[in-house]
Each structure stands twice: as structure tokens, then as C-alpha cells.
């Protein structure tokens, strides 16, 4: 099953909830025609890597309309911003651009509650623009919905940009996966 691949073993008592969380959100995003690409740890796992992760990282089309749909879906599913701001303001380009330029916003995080570990991060500061990521995304079909996942090559670029220790380890594994797959 898809979520065993995502390796949420460290949250054993939450594993079932985490599975439903991702399935429900992906299904809702598909139903509302939200433009997104999965990146980060979940993408790494879907591309064949193995590591634990607790959040869902996405890059999204940064149009006001797409962001409005995202905010509505997340609010309707019990999510709120991690920081004390109005979630609806994310879909207002003037306010969003101020957050980026004056507050150095790198990501916008939504959480369900502090106990569930359910967090969705919309990555704002990304070395790969959405259209590039979307055009080269690998589409993974699961049941009645599909998930666009960033290509291994673009995920490597993102991880090189981040440069954290975990990212450097992920890069090695992604390159090994590409080699095994003949790329």
C-alpha cells in the first residue's frame, strides 16, 4: 500500500490517521483541481527512497485562485495556519508578496492540531518554479486519484539548495536510484 512506502513507523500510534490524512488531502486536491506537486520527504519516499517524515511538503501554482482553493480545502478539513495570520490572506497576492519581501516567508504551514503531527507546508522559496516542476512531475496513480511528484532530478536540485545533512544523504540515495533505473 502507498503509505507503507512513506514509512511513518516512528508515529506508530498515529499511522492509521496519517494514512487517511494524506489520502483525504490528495483526493480533495484532485477533486478541487488544485495545482500542486509533492516535494520533500514524501516525494523522496514515493521516488524509491526510505526515510521517516511527518509533514507533507508541496509546491503549488501561486495564483490567487489556486491558493484560495487550497485554503478552502484545508480549512474545511480542520487545518489552520501554524502562525497567527488569516489563512485567507495567503490567496491575496498583495499581502502574500508583503510576507515574502518583508517577513522573508519561505513556507506557509498549515496544521490540524498540535497533537496529530498533521502538517502541510506550502514551499514558497523554491529553486524550482512550479511550472518546471509540474511539467516534469511523475504522476503516481493511487485508486481514484493521482499525485504529481517532483522528478528525481528536480528534487535533487531542491535538496542541493537546502543543503541540510538529511538532504545530502537523500541526494546520494536519489542518484543511486536514478543509476539503478538507467538514468
Q: Does 15 or 142 have the greater pLDDT score?
A: 142
Q: How many CB atoms lie under 10 A from the CB of residue 180?
A: 9
Secondary structure (DSSP) of 106-150: -EEEEES-TTT--EEEEE-S-SS-HHHHHHTPEEEEETTEEEEE-
Q: Is the pLDDT of residue 32 over 70?
A: yes
CATH number at residue 124: 3.30.460.40
| pLDDT for position 74 | 96
What is the value of pTM for the model shown?
A: 0.85
Query: 125-171 pLDDT, tens per residue?
Result: 889 999 999 999 999 988 888 899 999 999 999 999 988 899 899 99
d(CA 87, CA 81) in angstroms, rounded, equals 6
Instruction: Please tell me the total count of domains within the chain.
Output: 1
Which domain range does residue 153 map to? 2-180
Amino acid at each position: 500500500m502507498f503509505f507503507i512506502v512513506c514509512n511513518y513507523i516512528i508515529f506508530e500510534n498515529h499511522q492509521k490517521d496519517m494514512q487517511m490524512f494524506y489520502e483525504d488531502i490528495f483526493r480533495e486536491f484532485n477533486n478541487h483541481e488544485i495545482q500542486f506537486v509533492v516535494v520533500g520527504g514524501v516525494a523522496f519516499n514515493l521516488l524509491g527512497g526510505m526515510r521517516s517524515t511527518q509533514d507533507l511538503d508541496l509546491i503549488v501554482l501561486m495564483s490567487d485562485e489556486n491558493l484560495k482553493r487550497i485554503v478552502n480545502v484545508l480549512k474545511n478539513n480542520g487545518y489552520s495556519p501554524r502562525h497567527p495570520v488569516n489563512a485567507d490572506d495567503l490567496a491575496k497576492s498583495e499581502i502574500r508578496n508583503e510576507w515574502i519581501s518583508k517577513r522573508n516567508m519561505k513556507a506557509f504551514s498549515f496544521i490540524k492540531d498540535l497533537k496529530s503531527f498533521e502538517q502541510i507546508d506550502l514551499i514558497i522559496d523554491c529553486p524550482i518554479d512550479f511550472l518546471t516542476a509540474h511539467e516534469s512531475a511523475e504522476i503516481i496513480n493511487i485508486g481514484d486519484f493521482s499525485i504529481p511528484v517532483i522528478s528525481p532530478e528536480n528534487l535533487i536540485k531542491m535538496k542541493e539548495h537546502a543543503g541540510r545533512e538529511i538532504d545530502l544523504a537523500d541526494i546520494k540515495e536519489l542518484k543511486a536510484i536514478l543509476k539503478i533505473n538507467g538514468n
